[in-house]
Amino acid sequence: MLNPRIQTSIEVLNVLIHIPSFSREEAAAADFLQSHIEAQGMTTGRKGNNIWCLSPMFDLQKPTILLNSHIDTIKPASGWKRDPFTPSQEEGKIYGLGSNDAGGSIVSLLHVFLHLCRTQQ
């Protein structure tokens, strides 16, 4: 049985893989991510497809880190041997368009952000 946080991260990544999010066409992915973040009890801001969220503990007087990524993907090349929008898992690896660039990064950064927001600093 996987850790529930890991399982949630995999589920979020699988949804992102399902959503076509080509450059300048990533509104559906942005909608999903914004809804997911808000479902975690966080308040988001958004301009176009750019989404941001501040930790409830944000304080201008304290050191700050920025977690940043992009949500667009490139169009799949002709060499795909599987459906690029259907995530598949083999030997602990998830395959699908955007699973590495940058879906995996987004999911990891979100996990870290939510963990830090729930942990007293």
Map out the domains of the chain as residue ranges: 4-117
DSSP state of 79: T
Split at pLDDT 50, 70, 90, the class of 2 is confident
Q: What is the mean pLDDT of the chain?
A: 94
Please give the model's pTM, rounded to 2 decimal places: 0.92
Domain 4-117 belongs in CATH node 2.40.30.170: no
My answer on whether omega of the bond before 28 falls inside 30° of 0, hence cis, is no
Alpha helices in the chain (DSSP H): 4-18, 27-39, 105-117
DSSP state of 74: P
pLDDT digits (tens, 9 = 90+) for 23-69: 999 999 999 999 999 999 999 999 999 999 999 999 999 999 999 99
Reference 9, options 97, 93, 109; nearest CA is 109
